[in-house]
Amino acid sequence: MQSNDIANRFAFHPATTDEKRDEHTSVRQACRRLADELNERLPDGREKSLAVTKVEEAMFWANASLARPSV
């Protein structure tokens, strides 16, 4: 792993345009809708908790994909 890759992973990457901010918002909203759907349909328990956590994780990675410049 290159030093610049590590620097890129841990740097702050603000949305630089309105379009980019809108993309981040769209990802968050889509993930929120899925999390709400899972919350309504699944019985409470560890598995449901993990499913919602994985949706949250997917949201973070998707937004990182939008925010981080390719190295």
Contact 37, 5 (CB under 8 A): no
- Quick check: helix, strand or coil at residue 38? helix
Considering the entire predicted model, what is its pTM? Answer: 0.84
Categorise residue 43: left if φ over 0, alpha if ψ from -120 to 50, beta otherwise. beta
Contact at 8 Å (CB) between 33 and 42? no
- Kindly give the confidence (pLDDT) of every residue in the chain, 71 residues in length, as a single tens digit, with 9 standing for 90 and above: 889 888 988 898 989 899 999 999 999 999 999 999 999 999 999 999 999 999 999 999 999 999 987 76
Query: Given 3-state DSSP classes, what are the helix, strand and coil percentages for the chain, each rounded to the nearest 5?
Result: 75, 0, 25
Where along the chain do its domains lie?
Answer: 16-67
* Residues whose CB falls within 8 Å of the CB of residue 20, separated by 6 or more in sequence, listed in order: 66, 67
